[in-house]
């Protein structure tokens, strides 16, 4: 008979915690998952998923008998020795990571034969500090998460690598965590706690740097008549560079890149080191979100009283996460210019509603563009590629589109009657026919 799999505890059932719980249940482990939000726990018990993530509903439903959701930490501690901490670590007003939720968990753990496995993204040095406060018998392992929202289940099940950081005293706990991931067949990077913490922050900072870099290249392409899509294709074929994250657009957002880049910058600053490159990465990203306004003004002049449609609100497709979404900055800038803003997103509208103030929410893309003086593609949802763009052009007061993700077929849009503006695209945009 196969040995029963080791029970697993998950503390914090958000994007990372819920995916971690569902995936370990799929791998055969009994999982005990705790969140402090009683409402969330109740919903999960009824089988209601709290986030939009492809494949997650199926995993939760298919493994329901192995998954226990609770608001009571004791239930988790009684059942599981291996405890994945997946609580949020948002930015604090100083730009450092706010570790108050992590500290709250540490305080609650007490003592005993347990392993605290840190999945939350924390600044290097956190593990060393937490270890000083842990009760007797609790080992500490850093196991940062690299999943991407929108493909979180797929990423968890097929990781590029798994990082397991444990100091010598906790080597056995590190072995136990590594064993959990062995069935996934990925390379397991065994290292010390501080290095594991830095791997996570450095990886996100590097990816953010790549995005800001290609966005600056795009902006130069606009000046010199080059096409950034061609430039990125040519660059990406160089194995030393790689094609991932070389797509120009209106900047990165989401719950991770902005806060992790800021946390690394602050972490360095707190030690007296000025991380110049990251300052530029952050500034380029902020300016990039705003460039769309200039592109609209090029065609429409003043935006006062102009109706502008935003297509997509989520920070990227296949998620309803609105944290640090570029759409929020863009909408606020447009409202600031006096525009009337209407928006549509296939799944993020509910989360977006309370964040968007005076922005009107439409029930479909075609409803959103009806009577608009311009539209901006903000999130590259597949349904926008399939949209009946000829009907969209006919419905708009002015058929003008700013493709903030270089996602649409420019020739098709132009054939449908649009003035098309991408980000860093070579072809001269035809001025909007009805611009005044
Ligand atoms: N979202 C991502 O794509 C992603 C990817 C990699 C790493 N991370 C990191 O993982 C961590 C979690 O991110 P997330 O996006 O899942 O956050 P989230 O905000 O979606 O979820 C965090 C959950 O923890 C709960 N919580 C807070 N304090 C708690 C406590 N004391 N006990 C139990 N539950 C508690 C909250 O109620 C919430 O449900 C962060 O550090 C983040 O940086 C996130």
pLDDT digits (tens, 9 = 90+) for 129-168: 999 999 899 999 999 999 999 999 999 999 999 999 999 9
Residue 426 reports pLDDT greater than 90: no
Q: Write out pLDDT tens, residues 165-194.
A: 999 999 999 999 999 999 999 999 999 999
Residue ranges around ligand 1 (CB below 6 Å): 11-17, 34-37, 40, 86-89, 101, 104-105, 119-121, 145, 147, 149, 255-256
Please tell me whether residue 9 adopts helix, strand or coil conformation: strand
Residue 78 reports pLDDT greater than 70: yes
Ligand 1: atom nearest CA of 18 is 16
Give me the pLDDT at residue 427, please. Answer: 58
Q: What percent of the chain has pLDDT over 70?
A: 97
Q: Write out pLDDT tens, residues 309-361.
A: 999 999 999 989 999 999 999 999 999 999 999 999 999 999 999 899 899 99
Please tell me whether residue 368 adopts helix, strand or coil conformation: helix
83, 113 in Cβ contact below 8 A? no
Whole-angstrom distance, CA of residue 259 vs CA of residue 257: 6
Record the pTM.
0.92
Nearest CA to ligand 1 atom 36: 12
Whole-angstrom distance, CA of residue 404 vs CA of residue 376: 6
Quote the tokens at residue 69: 């959701």
Average pLDDT score over residue span 97-105: 95
Higher pLDDT, residue 93 or 220: 220
Which of 50-54, 321-325, 427-431 is predicted least confidently? 427-431
Residue 93 CB neighbours (<10 A): 6
The Å distance, Cα 119 to ligand 1 centre, comes to 9
Residue 101 CB neighbours (<10 A): 18
389, 320 in Cβ contact below 8 A? no
Whole-angstrom distance, CA of residue 276 vs CA of residue 269: 10
The Å distance, Cα 313 to ligand 1 centre, comes to 21
Catalytic residues: 256
The 8-class DSSP code of residue 209 comes to H
Whole-angstrom distance, CA of residue 199 vs CA of residue 180: 20
321, 254 in Cβ contact below 8 A? yes
Please tell me whether residue 188 adopts helix, strand or coil conformation: strand
Q: Write out pLDDT tens, residues 259-315.
A: 999 999 999 999 999 999 999 999 999 999 999 999 999 999 999 999 999 999 999
3-state per-residue secondary structure call for 301-360: CCCCCCEEEEECCCCCCCCCCCCCCHHHHHHHHHHHCCCEEEEECCCCHHHHHCCCCCCE
Whole-angstrom distance, CA of residue 100 vs CA of residue 96: 12
Whole-angstrom distance, CA of residue 142 vs CA of residue 139: 10
57 CB-contact burial (10 Å; exposed 0-12 / middle 13-18 / buried 19+): middle
Give me the pLDDT at residue 436, please. Answer: 44
Nearest CA to ligand 1 atom 7: 145
Give me the pLDDT at residue 94, please. Answer: 86
Nearest CA to ligand 1 atom 15: 15
The Å distance, Cα 35 to ligand 1 centre, comes to 10
> Distances from the Cα of 161 to the Cαs of 27, 190, 362, in angstroms?
17, 10, 41
């Amino acid at each position: 008979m196969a040995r029963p799999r080791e029970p697993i505890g998950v503390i914090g059932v958000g994007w990372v915690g819920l995916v971690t719980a569902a995936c370990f249940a799929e791998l055969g482990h009994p999982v005990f998952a705790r969140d402090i939000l009683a409402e969330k726990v109740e919903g999960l018990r009824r089988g209601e998923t709290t986030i939009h993530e492809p494949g997650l509903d199926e995993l939760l439903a298919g493994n329901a008998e192995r998954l226990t959701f609770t608001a009571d930490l004791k239930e988790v501690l009684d059942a599981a020795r291996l405890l994945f901490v997946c609580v949020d670590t948002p930015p604090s007003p100083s730009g450092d990571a706010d570790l108050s939720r992590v500290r709250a968990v540490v305080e609650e753990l007490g003592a005993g034969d347990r392993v605290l496995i840190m999945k939350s993204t924390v600044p290097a040095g956190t593990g060393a500090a937490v270890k000083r406060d842990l009760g007797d018998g609790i080992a500490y392992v850093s196991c940062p998460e690299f999943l991407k929202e929108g493909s979180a289940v797929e990423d968890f099940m097929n990781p590029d690598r798994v990082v397991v950081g444990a100091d010598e005293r906790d080597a056995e706990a590190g072995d136990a965590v590594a064993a959990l991931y062995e069935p996934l067949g990925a390379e397991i990077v065994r290292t010390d706690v501080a290095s594991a913490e830095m791997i996570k922050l450095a990886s996100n900072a590097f990816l953010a740097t790549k995005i800001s870099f290609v966005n600056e290249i795009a902006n130069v392409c606009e000046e010199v008549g080059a096409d950034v899509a061609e430039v990125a294709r040519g660059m990406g074929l160089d194995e030393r560079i790689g094609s991932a994250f070389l797509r120009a657009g209106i900047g990165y957002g989401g719950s991770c890149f902005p806060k992790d880049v800021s946390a690394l910058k602050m972490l360095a600053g707190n030690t007296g080191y000025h991380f110049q490159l990251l300052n530029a990465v952050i500034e380029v990203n902020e300016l990039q979100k705003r460039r769309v306004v200039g592109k609209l003004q090029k065609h429409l002049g003043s935006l006062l009283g102009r109706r502008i449609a935003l297509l997509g609100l989520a920070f990227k497709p296949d998620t309803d996460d609105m944290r640090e979404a570029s759409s929020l900055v863009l909408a606020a800038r447009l409202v600031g210019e006096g525009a009337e803003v209407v928006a549509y997103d296939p799944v993020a509208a509910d989360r977006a509603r309370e964040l968007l103030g005076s922005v009107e929410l439409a029930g479909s893309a075609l409803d959103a563009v009806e009577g608009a003086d311009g539209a901006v593609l903000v999130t590259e949802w597949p349904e926008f590629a399939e949209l009946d763009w000829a009907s969209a052009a006919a419905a708009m007061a002015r058929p003008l589109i700013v493709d903030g993700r270089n996602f649409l077929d420019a020739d098709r849009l132009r054939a449908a009657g649009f003035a098309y503006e991408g980000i860093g695209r070579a072809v001269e945009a035809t001025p909007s026919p009805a611009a005044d």
